[in-house]
Chain A
Amino acid sequence: MTRTKAGSLGSIAGIVVLTATIPLLFVVYSSLQLSASKWAGLWSSRLPELMGNTLSLALVVVVLCLILAVPSAWLTARRDFAGRKVAIWLLVLPLTIPTYVFAHIYTVLLEPTGWLGELWQLVAGDGALINLYGLGGAAVMLSLATFSYVFLLAYTSLVDSRRSLEEAARIHGASKWQVFLRVTLPLIRPALAAGLIVVVLHTLSDFGAVSMLRYQTFTLSIYLQMSGRFDYQAAAGLSLILVSMSLVFLVLERFFRRQQRYFAGAQTRFISRKRASIQETLVIWAWLGLVSLFAFVIPVSWMLAWSYEALVQDVIDAKFWGYALNTGLVSFTAATVAVVVALPLGLYHTRVRTWLSNLYIQLSSIGFVLPGPVVALGVITFVIAVLPNFYGGFAALIMALVVRFLPLAIQSQEAALQQLTPSVEQAGRIHGAGPLENLWRVILPMIRNGMVTAWVLVFIDVLKELPATLMLRPVGFDTLPIRIWIEASEEMLELAAPAALLLVVGTLPALWIMMRSHAVRR
């Protein structure tokens, strides 16, 4: 019985994985057509530099994200202070701002005539400029845009961890610092790994920020090969190397997450937060305020200022609301489909845990590690060849977006599925529930939070998605990110700003649902 059930679940999971690997198949197929001499040319001329650039960017972003996220998560999870919930919101909200919007806003603000540029000249003297182009700038922009993933997962994990282990360590004479390093940190290690892998994958596949800041990574180079020279084969070759690099990171992440199923007895208590004194509160807010100032307050102030300009100039018309509606429609559909198709995959893996299920999970991550334009190209090629009637419609776009963000859904669902202790499921079955009833009445309610998180994360990412939407949207179907891209590239700031602002506002309900479902509740 169990065997056959896992079998049917396995075949559904297999179909999902097969669909998710379409872009990879496309990449492999195209790079096979690349001649040996062209490979050699790529290898000698570009690869060392690209690899160096891409890896150093990923490394710097990881370090910056840890610096931004871990102290913030610990403070908000373990200390009770005035405005704690506001702080949590402020630290999650940067998720709603796309990387290219960050890059755009900060380049404008740091110009000699921008708010920050003028301020900096007051501090550092006339003519002093902060140059955002290159590694430093790109890393800071990507960190500001993505550290919230690490924060969110670290915070949740810190709040969820039980008191008993840390108390036991204290009783046995460990100092506070030792407890943090040897108990707390290992406990949140899986969450940090999960958060960081999302950050790394975002970094590797980022197109918007690096192209605005002219930092040559694999993704940017792939894009230039495709668009500048129409050289799909070289682009595919580079993509293949990028995928291999990403797989290394994914395996690393799995390694850090191994043997982390940890089942707490129901009677253990959650950690209670220590009340912060007034001085402590000030220090805490100084840190959290600094982080959220750059990650959220400044960008949003800029959006508000230019949106006001747009309002005054009366440029927000019916078309603008049409773009907003399109964006919502695409994001809602893609997130829902992604969560639904991710479920059998996650369930299957949690159940059987074989090399095959492991392979499934790794393979389904492909969409996330390939650059958006390549995913889009793969899907276009597949759809035209196999399902020509779908082409040009909404379905092909949704398919590409789901393929692209499936890993996000799987990651968050899987984390939740792992909390599903075998005993609970067994209890359900003992009490006579069939597999379906068990799914509906036991599993789904228990992993509801994970599903909601998955849905919201995909929703937010689709909302901000640019390259795949650019290539695959139905004719005449524009979304807000596309309008931001088009208007910002022509310096029509008063047109780009309201779109960016609406993205932030549009994400709020989704974030609220997610936060209510677990994080802020405790």
Chain B
Amino acid sequence: MSNKTNLLTGLGRSLLAMTLIVGSAATWAAEELVIYSGRKDKFVEPVVEKFTEQTGIKVILHSGESTALLNKMQIEGPRTQADLYLSNDAGNLQKGTEMGLFMRLPGSLVNEVPANLRAADNTWIGLSARARVLVVSKNAKDLDWVKSIFDLADPRLKDRLAITHSANESYIAGVTVYMEAVGDAKTKTWLEGMKVNVDGEVFNKHSKIVAAVANGQKDIGLVNHYYIYRHLAKEPDAPIEIRLPDQDGMGVAWNVAGVAVSKHSKKKNSAQKFVEFVVSAEGQKIFAEANNEYPVVLGIAAAPEVPAAGSYKIADVPMVKLGERRDETIDLIESVGMP
């Protein structure tokens, strides 16, 4: 009897010892900046490589979904290994601020970024902006009347409209902007109209919406602007074009990708160096261009194929609203029962 107990406890002890060694080794090895990144590696790597090249500071990208990573940071609390948090959605960044996860960035660091594209208390800043636009098929000649995103609820677009499912963060952010700009009631009516038009058929990716419009499956779609250029880069002859909605009304909804420094980071100096680099002219250009987005710092141009910032009307909604009103937005979307 005792033999067996010894065998098993012995086994248990050696397992414990093994895991202890492995566990602590991983902790010691982390002498670099860690970024919890909700943005695709491919679009972050260029700026990270340049940063490392210039400063010698190594960066580990820990990628995942923005929301999941924010959850992780919250649960980890002071134990988090994250020095920076990067997200494609201002809503998530503002949520992190509300959770008290981020440190206040010094004014000198953030002044270059327009005030409506960062947190009121400077706990996060926008880095690149994306516009919520329409992708229209060049073969659909009868769609000239669509000038506003609210036209997407028109019954004439039944079965011709492509939108994403309603858990998509860009979609949610867009709805928040419309709620702010035109009020909840009108936004709700609009969602109900779109729900009828898509009849349960939604897309799980923006890229698929653009592809569906390009191959004639659908005639019009609601997407972030860069998906159109990504598709055109692969298939330059695709019969699609961008349409900037609501130019006579509220303007185009914007959302920003941005960055924040973890309150619990033990390398706040290096982390701030990273922020400094991504708001510098060079960093801005690399960061935004990797994904055909708009640099947030004024005076730095976006990629030439993209409609220039300033050349069209943008909805006047501070980005912090995307976080503050996110739960309400989800409630509204759910009350309509959008797929």
Residues of A within 8 A of B (CB): 1, 4-5, 8-9, 12, 107, 111-113, 129, 131, 133, 212-214, 224, 226-230, 337, 340, 344, 373, 377, 380-381, 384, 388-396, 398, 434-436, 439, 470-471, 474-478, 482, 486, 489-492
Contacts and interface: CB of A to CB of B under 8 A. Distances in A.
Contacts of B11: 340
B77 A384 contact: yes
Interface string B64-102: 110110111011110101100000000000010001000
B4 A8 contact: yes
Interface in B212-231: 215, 217
3 closest A-B pairs by beta carbon, nearest first, are: A393-B23, A395-B19, A227-B67
A447 to B, nearest CB: 16
* Residue from A377, A394, A477, A482 having most chain B Cβ neighbours under 10 A: A394
A436 B7 contact: yes
Contacts of B154: none
15 contacts: A5-B1, A129-B217, A227-B67, A229-B327, A377-B71, A384-B75, A384-B76, A392-B23, A392-B27, A393-B19, A393-B27, A394-B23, A439-B4, A471-B72, A476-B61
Contact of A476 (B23, B25, B60, B217): B60
Given A5-B1, A227-B65, A475-B81, A380 B75 contact: yes
A395 B19 CA distance: 5
B60 to A, nearest CB: 4
A486 B66 CA distance: 12
A212 B61 CA distance: 24
B167 interface: yes
A489 B81 contact: no
B149 to A, nearest CB: 22
Nearest to A9: B4
Contacts of A113: 211, 215
Contacts of A133: 201-202, 204
B26 interface: yes
B82 to A, nearest CB: 8
Nearest to B7: A436
A396 B27 CA distance: 12
B20 interface: yes
Contacts, number: 138
A1 B3 CA distance: 13
Contacts of B7: 436
Contacts of A436: 3-4, 7
Contacts of B68: 227, 373, 470-471
Interface in B161-186: 165, 167, 172
A477 B60 CA distance: 9
The prevalent SS among residues of B at the interface is helix
Nearest to B80: A392
A491 B61 contact: no
A389 B34 contact: no
B3 to A, nearest CB: 4
Nearest to A486: B63
Interface residues of B, number: 56
Contacts of B13: none
Given A384-B75, A384-B77, A470-B64, A395 B330 contact: no
A389 B22 contact: no
Interface of B: 1, 3-5, 7-8, 11, 15, 19-20, 22-27, 30, 34, 40-42, 60-65, 67-68, 70-72, 74-77, 79, 81-82, 95, 99, 165, 167, 172, 201-202, 204-205, 207-208, 211, 215, 217, 327, 330, 339
Given A393-B23, A475-B60, A491-B207, A434 B75 contact: no
Contacts of A388: 79
Given A8-B1, A229-B330, A131 B71 contact: no
Contacts of B215: 112-113
A442 B61 CA distance: 50
Contacts of B27: 389, 392-393
A25 to B, nearest CB: 16
A398 B19 contact: yes
B4 A5 contact: yes
Contacts of B8: 12, 344
A75 B60 CA distance: 52
B79 to A, nearest CB: 5
Contact of A396 (B23, B41, B65): B23
B4 A435 contact: yes
A476 B37 CA distance: 11
B23 A390 contact: yes
Given A434-B3, A474-B26, A391 B63 contact: no
Contacts of B25: 393
Contact of B30 (A5, A435, A475, A478): A475
B55 to A, nearest CB: 18
A396 B20 CA distance: 10
Given A380-B75, A384-B77, A476-B62, A230 B95 contact: yes
A408 B26 CA distance: 29
Nearest to A231: B327
Nearest to B205: A491
A12 B1 CA distance: 13
* Residue from A107, A112, A113, A475 having most chain B Cβ neighbours under 10 A: A475
Contact of B34 (A213, A434, A476): A476
A393 B24 contact: yes
Given A226-B71, A228-B172, A475-B34, 18 more contacts: A8-B5, A107-B204, A113-B215, A129-B217, A214-B165, A214-B202, A224-B167, A228-B67, A230-B74, A337-B15, A340-B11, A377-B71, A392-B26, A393-B23, A394-B22, A474-B26, A475-B26, A486-B40
B236 to A, nearest CB: 17
Given A229-B330, A435-B1, A476-B34, A393 B71 contact: no
A459 to B, nearest CB: 17
B255 to A, nearest CB: 16
A151 to B, nearest CB: 30
A509 to B, nearest CB: 23
A439 B7 CA distance: 11
Contacts of A391: 76, 79
B202 A435 contact: no
Nearest to A467: B68
A230 B71 contact: yes
* Residue from A113, A224, A226, A227 having most chain B Cβ neighbours under 10 A: A227
Contacts of A224: 167
A82 B72 CA distance: 54
